[in-house]
Amino acid sequence: DQQVKQNSPSLSVQEGRISILNCDYTNSMFDYFLWYKKYPAEGPTFLISISSIKDKNEDGRFTVFLNKSAKHLSLHIVPSQPGDSAVYFCAATGSARQLTFGSGTQLTVLP
């Protein structure tokens, strides 16, 4: 039973364009959502987060949108850069605070 789903295993985007990564969740008790970026054989690196009381959070080129009614969040990267190529994980947490991860999306930014 996957509580956090990333349905796109991979995404390719041209440099300078927008990358949109999507994530769906099923557990309505989740109240904090995070995006991590991961390179092979390295630990996940925190990118951006959003509380369930907000619908948008922005940090530089990264923006996360949360649609609670649809139980959907997305990460927008504008403009995309070749260095953004990595696996992106969506994660969610409730009161217990352990992270539940999606399966990840491999983003490739083409020069």
Partner 1 sequence: DSGVTQTPKHLITATGQRVTLRCSPRSGDLSVYWYQQSLDQGLQFLIQYYNGEERAKGNILERFSAQQFPDLHSELNLSSLELGDSALYFCASSPRTSGSQETQYFGPGTRLLVL
Q: Which residues bind partner 1 (CB under 8 A)?
A: 31-32, 34, 36, 41-46, 49, 51, 89, 93, 95-104
Question: What is the C-alpha separation between 54 and 104, in angstroms, rounded?
Answer: 23
Q: How far apart are the C-alpha atoms of 19 and 83, rounded to whole Å?
A: 13
Nearest distance from C-beta of residue 75 to partner 1, angstroms: 15
Tokens for 106, please give them: 């491999």
Q: Which C-beta is closer to partner 1: that of 8 or that of 79?
A: 8
Between 69 and 95, name the residue whose CB sits nearer to partner 1. Answer: 95
| Shortest Å, Cβ 35 to partner 1 | 11
Query: Least CB distance from residue 45 to partner 1, whole Å?
Result: 7
Q: CB nearer to partner 1: give 65 or 101.
A: 101
